[in-house]
Amino acid sequence: MGFPLPPAMRRALDLAAEAAAAGEVPVGAVVTRGGEIVAEGRNRMRAGSDPTAHAEMVALRAAAAALGTSRLDDCSLWVSLEPCAMCAGAIALARIKELRFAAEDPKGGAVVNGPRLFAQPTCHHRPDVLGGIGEEEAAAMLRHFFAERR
């Protein structure tokens, strides 16, 4: 028996399941400040005909609106999948303090895979990054989602 997931990651995984149920790629994201959830999001690209409506982008936009600032430097982002280049760029621009993610994304990830955006000299903000939190559940959800579509 493993350790229970932090509540924010549990919520991100639940949001990912909601995305899958709606026909979206199962990714969920939660922004916390001081341990409290201030915003959340799930993939909504198909529903909104918006290629930028990734879970992280939805959550970051909601957090900025809720807190009245584009600088989220005292916030953490919890996401069920390693962010892509677009989302990693937004995380850096928002000055997110900590990034916590579940499953790595070898094909589309941009944090520990691919371009490794936060390691680039042109990236002016680097959050503290920790992956693998809830990885098995997130990876299984993604495998199931894509297996159903093949």
Q: Active-site positions?
A: 56
SS3 80: strand
124 annotated among ligand-binding-site residues = no
Q: Please, what's the b/e burial string for 26-59 (b: 16 or more CB within 10 A of its CB; e: otherwise)? A: bbbbbbbbeeebbbbbbbbbeeeeeeebbbbbbb
Contacts of residue 57, Cβ cutoff 8 Å, sequence gap at least 6: 41, 86, 87, 90
H or E segment and range at residue 138: helix 135-148
Residue pair 111/83 in contact (Cβ under 8 Å)? The answer is yes
75 annotated among ligand-binding-site residues = no
Binding residues: 54, 84, 87
Binding residues for Zn(2+): 54, 84, 87
